[in-house]
Amino acid sequence: MDGRPIDWLPDSFSRSPAWRMLRAAHRLKEKVPADPHIDDKWVDVAQRLLRTTGPSFASDAVRAANDLWVADQPARWHLEAQLLTTRPFAEVAAACVLAPPVVEAYHQLFFDVRPRLHASDWVLHLAVRSNPINDFAGPQPAGVWKYMGFMGGPLALDIVVAVTSDRPLPSWLRETFVTNPAFEEQRLRLKTKLSVAALTAKSASQLGSVLDLSEQLHDLEVAAGLKVVEEEPFFPAVGEFLAALGRLANISPKAPAKAAPSQRTSMKRSRNSPQPTESGGTRRE
């Protein structure tokens, strides 16, 4: 684990969320003594973790945190997304089904973001690393989970994680479905999937998935007798969903400006129209 001083210095914009691990590796490699202006007890913990004895020399919580980091699986992505919210560690632990000491150890060693949550540029660049600026680069759904956790807050994150993982929706949300629970849940799931797909689509096949989800939502709403704007079924659904996330985060987003009629493009796809292919060409169903 190599690093540069800008990766761990306290006032550096480039300070890594895993700065303690980088600093510990540097101290071990260069045999640098502790600096009270930089190092703390968690840097010492990181050093013990990195010694030749490895994780077996660490506490149970530190070993579990290290396992999450090394595995780089949904459990890690979910924890990092939760740490980008303002939930206390105990609530993060409950949401991730982890012991609180594991959450604390993971945060301090691998994802130290809480002291800088006010610095949105730093968070988006070095902690989230997947956002509109870089076209939602990186693996998904890890990127969109972290983006939603930071930008939308814990409630929005819970919804997105539940839908993209095919898990049950949060109980507080299911309790709001009173008129037609089955329809309301299916509609919300489709809106969420559509919004996530629209944010992260890059290839022709992914764009096709966006259009398929748009059609499914359109057909569901028509079958339920809702008034649907035939001209542009895609953008209103995404706008409504993102506005709802804004309300969950106590944000009052401005209503998106409507494009001029001549600029609008229908996203509704005819079932007999040419379909995009991976090579950029088209095919007919």
Q: Is residue 197 exposed (0-12), middle (13-18) or buried (19+ Cβ within 10 Å)?
A: buried
* Cα–Cα dist 52/28, whole Å: 11
Asked if residues 65 and 80 have their Cβ atoms less than 8 Å apart, the reply is no
Residues 6+ apart with CB under 8 A from 105: 45, 59, 61, 62, 64, 65
Residues 6+ apart with CB under 8 A from 172: 155
Q: Where are the domains of the chain?
A: 185-285
The reported pTM is 0.80
Q: 3-state class of 121 per DSSP?
A: helix
Could you list the pLDDT tens digit for every one of the 285 residues in the chain?
Answer: 778 999 999 999 999 999 999 999 999 999 999 999 999 999 999 999 998 666 666 899 999 999 999 999 999 999 999 999 999 999 999 999 999 999 999 999 999 999 999 999 999 999 999 999 999 999 999 999 999 999 999 999 999 999 999 999 999 999 999 999 999 999 999 999 999 999 998 888 888 899 999 999 999 999 999 987 765 545 565 656 666 655 666 544 344 333 333 333 333 444 444 444 444 444 444
Predicted confidence at residue 253, as pLDDT, reads 39
**Structure token digits, residue 151:** 């930008």
* Cα–Cα dist 254/134, whole Å: 23
